[in-house]
Structure 1
Amino acid sequence: MNIANPSQESVEALAAEEFPVAGRHVYLNHAAVSPWPERARRAMRAFADGVTEDGSLHFPDWQAKDAELRQRLQRLVNAESTDHIALVPNTSAGLSLVASGVKWQPGDNVVITDSEFPSNRMVWEALADRGVKVREAACTPAGSADCEGSVLGLVDQRTRVVSVSSVQWGTGLALDIGRIGRELAGTPTAFCVDAIQSLGAWPLDVRAIGADFVAADGHKWMLGPEGLGVFYCAPEWLEELQLRQWGWHMAEPLGDFEARDWRPAATARRFEPGTPNTPANHALEASLAVLQEAGIANVAERIAVRVEHLIQGLNRLPEVAFLSPTDPARRAGIVTARFGDRTEAVYEALRRNNVQVLPRAGGIRFAPHFYNSLHGLDHALNVAADALRR
């Protein structure tokens, strides 16, 4: 395959080779937990076989895989270098690094939206005992026409952080995070992005959007295992963000367990206190290899086609009300719809017929990835139509 510019035929072949789940289910639950590609399964098996048979004999190979994963993540977000990439257990851990590391003063505030997943709300609410206020911008469907304006309208001289999701978890509303970043550039307010519902599905350039911090978990659109995510920290924040966790892995000189004159690493490794999640490193690196072989631009284009296909098909059904935006500029990989008083019945019918979705935001959330077939989407639409006729 020409990795620099793979053909659609090559991407189709890659999808068929890597995702056996497609032969068992119409899997439309990538906004929750994604299936792994075959390559990730093979990588995890090889790692497990090595540990079982040889213990830590292959430790240098583990270190090499760690470095490869950081390089893939650096390219995925266009970070300045791998020095600005930390491996974290999950999105919440990454966001908590920011919440616990900013030098807060009583009276400071944080601006979020009113539609955030708890991970990007609780970490800020937990600062109440330090006198930090949380301001919520109106971005529910009624206020989504100018969510970014609502966010920026709450920023004042005491706003230390603006933290928003690139894509809202329930409705799938895609924010113009570049606009927010441009408006905050040159101000004292840091810009933090929860990218869990877009990273791996859509291109993200942390420098172009002016992000100071980005956090995302690997188990959704990056098609990796649970328990491993990425945290990006902009160069100017590496030493500015206070450390609250300590351990051997975040120290220099790394591996000198007798050192008493240790210091925090000069890179984002300073945010990784202890032993890395080595098995997950192998799986996530393999999953990202699949996505980057397909090309993130191709992945995004194919997801957009599948989202449009779902919207067009759902729009032909009776009693359908979209909770997700239908404007292409406002949507990502999530389509959430309500089916009147038949919503629960439609959900149960989909599950019985091997269509994996979830109830979210008062409707049913469909979240296809690049490998899903249009035939599979049609099966889901037909099941929903049959349930509505009963």
Structure 2
Amino acid sequence: MDIETLRRDTPGCAHRAHLNNAGAALMSRQTLAAVTSHLELEATIGGYEAAAAAQEGIEHVYDALARLVGADRDEIAVIENATRAWDMAFYGLRFEPGDRILTARSEYASNAIAYLQTARRYGVSVETVPDDEHGQLSVEALRSMLDERVRLIAVTHVPTQSGLVNPAAEIGKVAREAGVTYLLDACQSVGQLPVDVAEIGCDLLTATGRKFLRGPRGTGFLYASRRLTERLEPPFLDLHSATWTGPDSYRVRPDARRFETWETFYAGKIGLGVAVDTALDLGLDAVEARVTALAARLRDGLRSLPGVHVHDRGLRLSGIVSFTVDGHEPADLAELLRSREVNVSVSHATSAQWDLGSRGLPSVVRASVHYYNTEAELSRLLDALPAALPAG
């Protein structure tokens, strides 16, 4: 991996240490050019006409995403963001009173709110699977909680608030053995870790373009397995996802694009395809090795500072690093770092009540590395942190 070339191809690297890749990674020049050139084409010849002229690039994204996650192209839907992709999958499932949803304690707020809404609406039970001694979802506890009323296992692969990587493939094995639908939120894992839907055994998977894939904002995708798609009717349809076959009839299209809508961000689709090509060319094994090594170095550096606490748990860790500094609010630390041209983010308990809330952490600083980051940039973060203050 030629880091210097990758950094030269990433305009943002010239301006600041971007350690907020779990929020939105920096686009490459190639992805940026793909997006802007299509927008210029739309402005020059018209939106519909530009879409017709760019069909090859628009269709390519389906092949690229299918290759990325080990799916077939007819199992891929490109949707405006990961949350909407997840919603289209989740709200396409049918629930009845007494059904059970099993999920993880590290679940993201948007998903948890959807579970709770469904519980209120249909009388469904939402249950969090206990963590094991390492802080990840306990596969043994999951297996012990299964019965004929479990309708869905829904888990976030890499949570937004820490470096945890949940054991997705082991969860998938349990789900397959029990014949339970398995929905995996891979928003933070796709692009930094190898993700293969056959190996994982999930029926549904959602992810975004803007994070570790380094794609444009306003892009996301859904993998819906062929074996499940025909049994799922999206929560809303239009003339793209279905055909109006008669005055009082319609037919839902047979592939995963039943979860899409007709209007879409064509420039973003093309750019996403370019970003995915870059990830595939680099190789996700190489990407993970680079990302996890940088994250490990950052954790070691943080732990060496008095009064700094790293809050990541799990046997396997990702490129997300969560920490606090005694006597300093995470939001203030993020602002201080930003003033010194180091980008980080803050994760709040309102995004992860079952995890941060249960650990008594109102918020944490979230630094997230990518392969184009350097050890010098990690040092910039460490050097910019203020000294810890005594309690009280």
Instruction: With the length of structure 1 as denominator, give the TM-score of the two structures.
Output: 0.89
Q: Distance in 2 between matches of 1:17 and 1:293?
A: 17
Deviates more, 1:35-44 or 1:339-348: 339-348
SS in 2 for 1:192: strand
- Counterpart residue number, 2:292: 304
CA-to-aligned-CA distance 1:86-143 (integer Å, 9 cap, x gap):
111222222222322222221001111222112221222121211111112234x977
- Counterpart residue number, 2:74: 83
Mapping of residues 72-111 of structure 1, within 5 Å = 72-79=64-71, 81-111=72-102
Mapping of residues 129-278 of structure 1, within 5 Å = 129-139=121-131, 144=135, 147-251=138-242, 263-278=251-266
Residue 389 and residue 374 in structure 1: after superposition, are their counterparts in 2 closer, same or farther (change >3 A)?
Answer: farther
Residue 381 and residue 389 in structure 1: after superposition, are their counterparts in 2 closer, same or farther (change >3 A)?
Answer: farther
Q: Distance in 1 between matches of 2:246 and 2:58?
A: 24
Of 323, 338, 342, which aligns to 2:328? 342
| 1:279 paired to 2:267 | yes
Q: What is the number of residues matched between the two proteins?
A: 372
Deviates more, 1:353-362 or 1:303-312: 353-362
Amino acid paired to 1:381: L
Q: Distance in 2 between matches of 1:374 and 1:61?
A: 44
**Post-superposition offset of 1:59:** 2.8
Q: Distance in 1 between matches of 2:261 and 2:194?
A: 29
Deviates more, 1:193-202 or 1:115-124: 115-124
Q: Distance in 1 between matches of 2:9 and 2:162?
A: 29
Deviates more, 1:337-346 or 1:282-291: 337-346
SS in 2 for 1:57: helix
Mapping of residues 7-86 of structure 1, within 5 Å = 8=1, 11-55=2-46, 56-79=48-71, 81-86=72-77
CA-based RMSD:
2.3
**Post-superposition offset of 1:262:** 5.4
**Post-superposition offset of 1:337:** 1.1
- Asked if the contact 1:71–1:82 (Cα under 8 Å) also holds between the matched residues in 2, the reply is yes
Q: Distance in 2 between matches of 1:137 and 1:184?
A: 14
Amino acid paired to 1:187: A
Deviates more, 1:360-369 or 1:198-207: 360-369
**Post-superposition offset of 1:145:** 5.2
**Post-superposition offset of 1:220:** 1.0
Q: Distance in 2 between matches of 1:243 and 1:311?
A: 42
Q: Distance in 2 between matches of 1:215 and 1:42?
A: 26
**Post-superposition offset of 1:319:** 1.2
Mapping of residues 296-335 of structure 1, within 5 Å = 296-325=284-313, 329-335=315-321
Q: Structure 1 vs Structure 2: percent identity of aligned residues?
A: 24
- Asked if the contact 1:201–1:222 (Cα under 8 Å) also holds between the matched residues in 2, the reply is yes
- Asked if the contact 2:51–2:266 (Cα under 8 Å) also holds between the matched residues in 1, the reply is no
Residue 147 and residue 172 in structure 1: after superposition, are their counterparts in 2 closer, same or farther (change >3 A)?
Answer: farther
SS in 1 for 2:198: coil
- Counterpart residue number, 1:364: 365
- Asked if the contact 1:346–1:388 (Cα under 8 Å) also holds between the matched residues in 2, the reply is no
SS in 2 for 1:249: coil
**Post-superposition offset of 1:198:** 0.5
**Post-superposition offset of 1:389:** 8.7
